[in-house]
């Protein structure tokens, strides 16, 4: 039996459904891919997905799960699915099997009823092969990400500097966006990370920033005062006489490359909000009809 692949399409800030699906699939020992770049690219789906045996799934606010293929949706009304399931190009998955897969996803997402269809879907959603590795190999794998990492990228035409930090044993980095970099310089980066509730939890976070301050940026270590920087950054966001308040720090839980794409989308006027807000009524009507037709084919 062919092993299905799963891609979860996330926004710049993952929705509750997206986070829940990623968590539950990992708990079930699946290996979903996460894509924050191509979710709204009709061209990408046409070029990379259409020829495969696939279904795109979207959840409604009423906790319904709808599914469709790229060939069934016009470019004018096609928007990001919540996730994609696909098999190899030569695999044949009949309508009854897709219905079982849909009910299995509904079961794990919304705590649905455990039916025979759900059991069939679980069988069809075969888990990827998992290589059993010894303690030495596991230790080597962990060491690849047991230290903090830091990198940066300057978008010169927009005068934006991106600073990316990844914490040990953490897959998702923090990328801070510093606008008007030629004026503001790198110092706002240090306090910006604290807008994320997960930053500062580890006792090593502050010493790492202190290390960057001295070694990477060559600032005077005696001037490193995080409490003062946080106080100054907070006060700058509030209006005061003769002063225009600054925007809150802009930090994404994404890689530099993903943030570059997000900023480009914003420049082109493409919305990066939740998966529901930009879907037209025409889309929902069309997908509901397609789902009903697929279910009737079983």
How confident is the model at residue 158, as a pLDDT?
87
How confident is the model at residue 239, as a pLDDT?
59
How far is 66 from 60, CA to CA, in rounded Å? 8
**DSSP assignment letter at 63:** S
How confident is the model at residue 129, as a pLDDT?
52
End-to-end CA distance of the chain: 20
How confident is the model at residue 15, as a pLDDT?
72
How far is 165 from 58, CA to CA, in rounded Å? 32
How far is 119 from 103, CA to CA, in rounded Å? 9
How confident is the model at residue 54, as a pLDDT?
93
How confident is the model at residue 229, as a pLDDT?
93
How far is 121 from 170, CA to CA, in rounded Å? 32
CA-wise closest residue to 260 among 152, 155, 149, 150:
155
How confident is the model at residue 275, as a pLDDT?
45
Per the DSSP assignment, residues forming a β-bridge with 6 are 85
- pTM strictly above 0.75: no
Q: Tell me the pairing of strands 33-35 and 5-9.
A: parallel
Q: Is residue 166 helix, strand or coil?
A: strand
How confident is the model at residue 245, as a pLDDT?
55
**Cβ atoms 196, 172 nearer than 8 A:** no
How confident is the model at residue 135, as a pLDDT?
37
How far is 5 from 31, CA to CA, in rounded Å? 8
Kindly give the interhelix angle for 116-124 and 95-110, rounded to the nearest 10 degrees.
100
SS3 content of the chain, % helix, strand, coil (to 5): 40, 15, 40
Look at the block and give the residue holding tokens 């990316």: 164
Q: Tell me the pairing of strands 83-87 and 5-9.
A: antiparallel
How confident is the model at residue 271, as a pLDDT?
41
**Which residues make Cβ contacts (< 8 Å) with residue 93, sequence separation at least 6?**
53, 87, 101, 124
Per-position pLDDT tens, the chain of length 298: 678 889 888 766 667 777 888 888 888 888 788 877 778 788 888 888 888 899 999 888 778 889 999 888 877 666 678 899 998 777 888 889 999 999 999 998 888 788 999 999 999 998 875 433 333 333 333 445 678 999 999 998 889 999 999 998 887 889 999 988 988 899 999 999 998 888 988 899 999 999 999 999 999 999 999 999 999 888 877 655 555 556 678 899 888 998 898 888 777 654 433 344 455 567 777 778 888 888 777 5
């Amino acid at each position: 039996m062919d092993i299905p692949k799963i891609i979860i399409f996330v926004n710049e800030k993952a929705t509750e459904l997206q986070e829940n699906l990623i968590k539950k699939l990992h708990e079930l020992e699946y290996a979903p891919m996460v894509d924050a770049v191509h979710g709204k690219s009709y061209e990408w789906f046409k070029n990379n997905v259409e020829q495969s045996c696939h279904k795109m799934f979207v959840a409604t606010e009423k906790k319904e799960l709808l599914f469709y293929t790229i060939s069934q949706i016009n470019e004018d009304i096609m928007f990001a699915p919540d996730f994609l399931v696909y098999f190899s190009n030569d695999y044949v998955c009949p309508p009854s099997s897709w219905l079982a897969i849909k009910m299995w996803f509904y079961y794990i997402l919304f705590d649905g009823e455990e039916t025979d269809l759900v059991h069939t879907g679980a069988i069809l959603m075969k888990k990827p092969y998992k290589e059993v590795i010894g303690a030495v190999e596991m230790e080597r794998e962990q060491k690849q990400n047991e230290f903090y990492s830091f990198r940066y990228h300057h978008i010169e035409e927009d005068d934006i500097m991106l600073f990316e930090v990844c914490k040990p044993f953490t897959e998702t980095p923090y990328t801070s966006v510093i606008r008007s970099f030629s004026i503001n310089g790198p110092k706002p980066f240090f306090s910006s990370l604290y807008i994320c509730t997960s930053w500062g939890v580890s006792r090593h976070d502050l010493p790492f920033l202190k290390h960057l301050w001295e070694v990477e940026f060559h600032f005077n270590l005696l001037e490193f005062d995080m409490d003062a920087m946080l106080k100054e950054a907070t006060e700058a966001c509030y209006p005061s006489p003769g002063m225009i308040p600054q925007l809150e720090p802009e930090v994404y839980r994404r890689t530099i490359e993903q943030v570059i794409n997000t900023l480009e989308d914003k420049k082109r006027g493409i919305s990066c909000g939740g998966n529901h807000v930009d879907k037209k009524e025409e889309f929902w009507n069309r997908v509901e009809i397609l789902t009903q037709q697929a279910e009737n084919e079983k």
